[in-house]
Amino acid sequence: MAEVTSPSQPLEQFVLLAKSARGAAAAELVRQALDAPGVYVFAELLDMPHIKDLESHAEYGSLYQLLQLFACGVHQDYLRRRQELPQLSDMQRLKLRHLTIVTMSTQTKRIPYADLMKELDLDNTRELEDVIITAIYSDVIRGKLDQLGGQLQVEYAAGRDVRPEAVPRVIATLQAWCQTCDTVMQCIDRQVQTANGEREARARHRAAIEAKVQTIRESLSAKDQDDPMSSDSKETVSTSDRSKKAKTRAAKAGTSKLWKS
């Protein structure tokens, strides 16, 4: 069996090899996957038929259980069962501690050093910070060491495999999330309809105002056209009155001359 040694090899490479590996070869493949840097999820490997066969194998059954622990468990789980599980290599222990930090970060984003040292079975802060730093460099978590506050501030944590018994809870959570999304979408649709209705109402109101303005303009324009005719009539009447007055004055003047004569 070809040995997988490159740190950059993803889990898919192990899954492909597991299609043909059996017995001792499959067990060795599991050990390599547990040791491989960058491999932190194992569900696909656990589902491979030849890997599942290890569960009932007299010699490799405990190795299969260890693989299950890496998929869903934490460091304290191993400590409680270490008498029945294979001994961890240094790389495996470090990886399991990384995975434990990931699990703890799902409960709180500010993890006290004291809690971390207890869960990771470490004796001093220096060792703890070394483990945290390697986890950050492995991109398992992203965060900051708050040495003054004695805590790890987690900004991001990689996902882990889901325990089979947790699947119903995950499904329920996703269903609740989908229902919330539907409710939000309905609310948005109502708001959009309301906004469209208000926009149409404003458009109708504006059109009505513009129509009134146009009517007033037409009325004023028609009045302006009628006014010059009225002025001409007034001027004609005024001229006629002046002419009559002039004739009257002339007649009076003629009569006055006759009396003087």
pLDDT of residue 248: 65
pLDDT for res 231: 52
pLDDT greater than 90 at residue 5: no
Domain boundary among 161, 193, 208: 161
Q: Are residues 112 and 147 both part of a single domain?
A: yes
pLDDT at 258: 47
> Domain range spanning residue 130?
88-161
Reported as type and span, the H/E element at residue 144 is: strand 141-146
CA distance 38 to 66: 18
Task: Tell me: do 95 and 153 sit in the same domain.
Answer: yes
- Summarised one tens digit per residue, pLDDT across range 25-64 is 999 999 999 999 899 999 999 999 999 999 999 999 999 9
pLDDT band (50, 70, 90) for residue 253: low
Using CA atoms, how far apart are residues 15 and 44, in angstroms rounded to an integer?
7
Domain assignment present for 239: no
Assess whether 97 and 155 both reside in one domain. Answer: yes
User: Is 240 among the domain residues?
Assistant: no
Asked if residue 163 lies in contact with residue 72, where contact means CB atoms within 8 angstroms, the answer is: yes
DSSP state of 60: T
Question: Which region among 28-42, 96-110, 196-210, 235-249 has the lowest average model confidence (pLDDT)?
Answer: 235-249
Do residues 68 and 113 share a domain? no
Residues 135 and 180 both lie in one domain: no
Residue with tokens 């939000």: 184
Burial of residue 98 (CB within 10 Å: 0-12, 13-18, 19+) is buried
Residue 123 main-chain phi, psi, to 5 deg? -100, -25
> Is residue 180 located within the same domain as residue 119?
no
Q: Distance between CA 28 and CA 215 in Å, rounded?
A: 93
Tell me whether residue 94 is in a domain: yes
Residues 155 and 171 in one domain: no
Does 185 share its domain with 156?
Answer: no
Which token pair is 43? Answer: 């569900």
Amino acid in position 134: T
Residues 143 and 108 sit within 8 Å (Cβ to Cβ)? no
Query: Is residue 60 a contact partner of residue 54, using CB atoms and an 8 Å limit?
Result: yes
Of 146, 161, 176, which marks where a domain is finished?
161
Answer yes or no: is 3 within a domain: no
pLDDT band at residue 249 under the 50/70/90 scheme: low
Q: Which helix or strand (DSSP H or E) is residue 226 part of? A: helix 167-260
pLDDT given for residue 165 in this prediction? 72
Question: With pLDDT > 90 as the criterion, what percentage of the chain qualifies?
Answer: 64
CA terminus-to-terminus distance, the chain: 161
49 and 24 belong to one structural domain: yes
Residues 6+ apart with CB under 8 A from 100: 74, 75, 76, 119, 120
Q: Would 232 be classed as within a structural domain?
A: no
Whether residues 142 and 182 fall in one domain: no
- In this structure, is residue 68 part of a structural domain? yes
Q: Is residue 184 in a domain?
A: yes
Closest residue by Cα to residue 43 from 24, 68, 10: 68
* 133 pLDDT more than 90: yes
Comparing 60-64, 92-96, 187-191, 241-245, the range with the smallest average pLDDT is 241-245
Same domain, 152 and 173: no
Predicted TM-score (pTM) above 0.75: no
Residue 4 amino acid letter: V
* CATH code assigned at 128: 1.10.10.10
The per-residue pLDDT for range 145-190, each reduced to its tens digit, is: 999 999 999 999 998 887 777 778 778 888 899 989 999 999 998 8
Give how many domains the chain has, as a whole number.
3
Please check whether residue 256 lies inside any domain of the structure.
no
The C-alpha atoms of residue 243 and residue 238 are separated, in whole angstroms, by: 9
**Cα distances (angstroms) measured from residue 174 to each of 64, 158, 170, 182, 186:** 30, 19, 6, 12, 18
Same domain flag for 105 and 42: no
Q: Mean pLDDT, to the nearest integer, of 232-259?
A: 58
d(CA 204, CA 233): 45
Examine the fold and report which residue of 19, 46, 72 is the final residue of a domain before the chain moves on: 72
